[in-house]
Amino acid sequence: MKKYIIFRAEGSAESWKERKLEPSGALTRILAERLDCSDKPLPEPGYRPAEFVRVEQLHNPSVHGDSTHYRTGDWEVVQVHSYTPDIPIPHGGDYDLIAICICRYNPVNAPLKPMPERQVSLESFGGNREAYEQWLISQKEMAEV
């Protein structure tokens, strides 16, 4: 099931006015968005979305994406509203479910954890076996150099 999950700050949440969309600079209450194609259930009240951090001194582009670490976030889900689209969403949307998770700012003292090693699979290539096998060959060739 393809789920589009939006984490949104409560209307009265402190500091939401400091968050701005890039590049427009418009104010937003959106904290994070996730596309989830797993069979995992939707987040429930009490869930805290992870915060991703880049520690410049430890960043290695060949190992990391943008983030080097993550931690349990300061925002806690307090309500979940889910919607099933009645009509297909154009431009590749085609979500089976859209969920809006309303979050309250509730800071925690969570430690930074290193990002896990990247996991590349056939699914990473959208099921394109030929592209996946070509990638495996390229990785083997790089290791032999």
Question: For the chain, what are the domain ranges?
Answer: 3-114, 117-145
Banded pLDDT at 18 (limits 50, 70, 90): low
Question: What are the φ/ψ torsions at residue 144 (nearest 5 degrees)?
Answer: -80, -15
Q: Rounded to an integer, what distance in angstroms lies between the CA atom of residue 43 and that of residue 101?
A: 8
Cβ neighbour number for residue 8 with a 10 Å cutoff: 21
Q: Rounded to an integer, what distance in angstroms lies between the CA atom of residue 30 and that of residue 64?
A: 25
* Structure confidence by residue, pLDDT tens digits, 80-102: 999 987 766 665 567 788 999 99
Q: Give the H/E segment covering residue 143.
A: helix 129-144
82 in helix, strand or coil? strand
Q: Is the pTM of this model over 0.75?
A: no
* Structure confidence by residue, pLDDT tens digits, 34-60: 888 888 899 999 999 998 888 888 777
CA distances from 86 to 37, 89, 104 (A): 19, 9, 30
Q: Rounded to an integer, what distance in angstroms lies between the CA atom of residue 5 and that of residue 38?
A: 12
